């Protein structure tokens, strides 16, 4: 399934960035500079810190990767490019991990609901603009980006790929079958969907660069 990528806005990660999706969110916490500087607990899978002589930012990850808390102090310079890169890589990692947990689960629910089963499902970044694909041997691959979509749009992408389990093309019979699955005219809905999705691409492209 493809989606048109619109021109991407420039992202800058700082306490004003509002990153709140259904399955992944970031919360910012302003802390005391000294407290952060004196905190020397070791980094691990769920806790990472970025340190320079005068800066400390700590990232705390909820175990299922659904939420990331970022502790910072007023002294932190979010214009620092190295810090920006570090934050981006951390957030990207959380989104990808979260996707590989949530998406197969959701697909299995939809498989059971519609009694339509794939040979397997994989979550992996795909070619630019591609949200999902289904092979002729009925393996489905989903792009991690769809984990930040609203539930309905996420389901639409998964159901699109599941409809390919029966019809490995985009001819009339495919759209008819997909319309049955989603309960509305799939071709009409695809247009509205492309528009709704465009706002998520900028953020995702920024994360994955
Ligand atoms: Zn398709």
What tens digit of pLDDT does each residue of 125-166 get?
Answer: 998 889 999 999 999 999 999 999 999 999 999 999 999 999
Domain boundaries, the chain: 25-95, 100-208
What tens digit of pLDDT does each residue of 49-107 get?
Answer: 999 988 999 999 998 999 999 999 999 999 999 999 999 999 999 999 999 999 999 99
Ligand 1 centroid – CA 162 distance (Å): 9
Do 106 and 155 form a contact (C-beta atoms < 8 A)? yes
Confidence of residue 187 (pLDDT cuts 50, 70, 90): confident
Provide the 3-class DSSP secondary structure of residue 13.
Answer: coil
Ligand 1 centroid – CA 148 distance (Å): 20
Paired sense of beta strands 47-51 and 67-72, if any: unpaired
Q: Which CATH class is domain 100-208?
A: alpha beta
List Cβ neighbours of 8 (8 Å cut-off, separation of 6 or more).
201, 202, 205, 206
Ligand 1 centroid – CA 169 distance (Å): 7
CA 125 from centre of chain? 10
């Amino acid at each position: 399934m493809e989606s048109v990528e619109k021109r991407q806005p420039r992202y800058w990660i700082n306490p004003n960035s509002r990153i709140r999706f259904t399955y992944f969110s970031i919360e910012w916490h302003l802390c005391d500079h000294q407290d952060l500087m004196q905190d020397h607990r070791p980094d691990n899978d769920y806790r990472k810190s970025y340190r320079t002589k005068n800066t400390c930012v700590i990232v705390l990850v909820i175990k299922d990767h659904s939420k990331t808390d970022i502790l910072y102090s007023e002294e932190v310079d979010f214009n620092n490019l190295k810090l920006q890169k570090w934050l981006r890589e951390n957030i990207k990692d959380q989104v990808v991990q979260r996707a590989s947990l949530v998406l197969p689960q959701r697909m299995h629910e939809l498989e059971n609901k519609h009694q339509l089963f794939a040979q397997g499902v994989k979550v992996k970044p795909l070619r630019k603009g591609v949200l999902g694909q289904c092979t002729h041997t009925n393996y489905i691959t989903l792009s991690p980006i769809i984990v930040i979509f609203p539930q309905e749009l996420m389901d639409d992408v998964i159901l699109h790929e599941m409809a390919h389990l029966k019809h490995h093309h985009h001819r009339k019979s495919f759209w008819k079958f997909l319309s049955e699955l989603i309960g509305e005219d799939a071709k009409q809905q695809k247009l509205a969907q492309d528009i709704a999705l465009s706002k998520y691409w900028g953020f995702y492209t920024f994360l994955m660069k």
